[in-house]
Amino acid sequence: MQMDFRRTIHLNIRRYDLSENPDVLKKTIELSSYIDCNNLKGELQKLFDINDEKVIKIRNKDGVLVPISFLLDSKDNSFFIDITKVSYIDKNCASLLQDAYVDAVKQKIRTLESRIAQSELLLPQLEWRRQAYMEDTVSALTNKVAFLNRRFDELSPQFRAKFPETIA
């Protein structure tokens, strides 16, 4: 059988949902070693009368935001709890911006897909053009070599006349 250890936590509560410069309310709570994060969150929401329009921010003694699990696991026993309203400018505006962003990304993907499809269509044509260019180059070189061979054959008797063969 496991023992139920209780842990005492000192909370410094600031209610930004009630005023812009709240006073710090000090509260002490005891936590069971068996409580999990979801139950702890529910207990804190009940304790501070929090609904979905408010947020609990937990900070350590240095003022750094920490997850709710730190209340259970941390060696510190003093935390700041900030309770604030959910802040957003305008749900419709945020939604419009998000929709515009999603539409822009979708358009970029469609454009990229279109460019890939065009590239796939052009690749066989590029291969054919490369092959045709190589054939034209080989044909031109063959014609030039044939011309040089003819010229050499035409000049060959004159060249041999200048250098008579020796009879061996």
Q: Does residue 50 fall inside a structural domain? A: yes
Chain Cα centroid distance, residue 114: 23
Residue 63 DSSP class = S
pLDDT digits (tens, 9 = 90+) for 140-159: 999 999 999 998 888 887 77
Q: How far from 126 is each of 9, 88, 119, 123, 137, CA to CA, in Å? A: 73, 54, 10, 5, 16
Looking at residue 148, its pLDDT comes to: 92
**Confidence band of 132 (pLDDT split at 50, 70, 90):** very high
pLDDT digits (tens, 9 = 90+) for 16-70: 888 888 888 898 888 877 788 788 888 888 888 888 788 888 898 888 888 888 8
pLDDT digits (tens, 9 = 90+) for 64-123: 888 888 887 777 788 999 988 876 655 555 566 777 888 888 899 989 998 988 888 888
Q: Does residue 56 fall inside a structural domain? A: yes
Please list, residue by residue across 107-146, b when 16 or more beta carbons sit within 10 angstroms of its beta carbon and e when fewer do: eeeeeeeeeeeeeeeeeeeeeeeeeeeeeeeeeeeeeeee
Looking at residue 95, its pLDDT comes to: 65
Q: Does residue 72 fall inside a structural domain? A: yes
Q: Does residue 105 fall inside a structural domain? A: no
* Cα separation, 163 vs 132, whole angstroms: 45
Looking at residue 74, its pLDDT comes to: 75
Q: What are phi and psi of 146, to 5 degrees?
A: -60, -40
Q: Does residue 142 fall inside a structural domain? A: no
Query: How many independent structural domains does the chain possess?
Result: 1
- What residue numbers bound the domain in which 77 lies? 6-85
What CATH number has the domain bearing residue 25? 3.10.20.90
Looking at residue 141, its pLDDT comes to: 96
Query: Is residue 133 scored above 90 in pLDDT?
Result: yes
Q: Which two tokens stand for residue 164?
A: 């008579």
Q: Does residue 103 fall inside a structural domain? A: no
Q: Does residue 49 fall inside a structural domain? A: yes
Alpha-carbon radius of gyration of the chain: 43
End-to-end CA distance of the chain: 120
**Cβ atoms 64, 82 nearer than 8 A:** no
pLDDT top residue among 135 and 92 = 135
Q: Does residue 64 fall inside a structural domain? A: yes
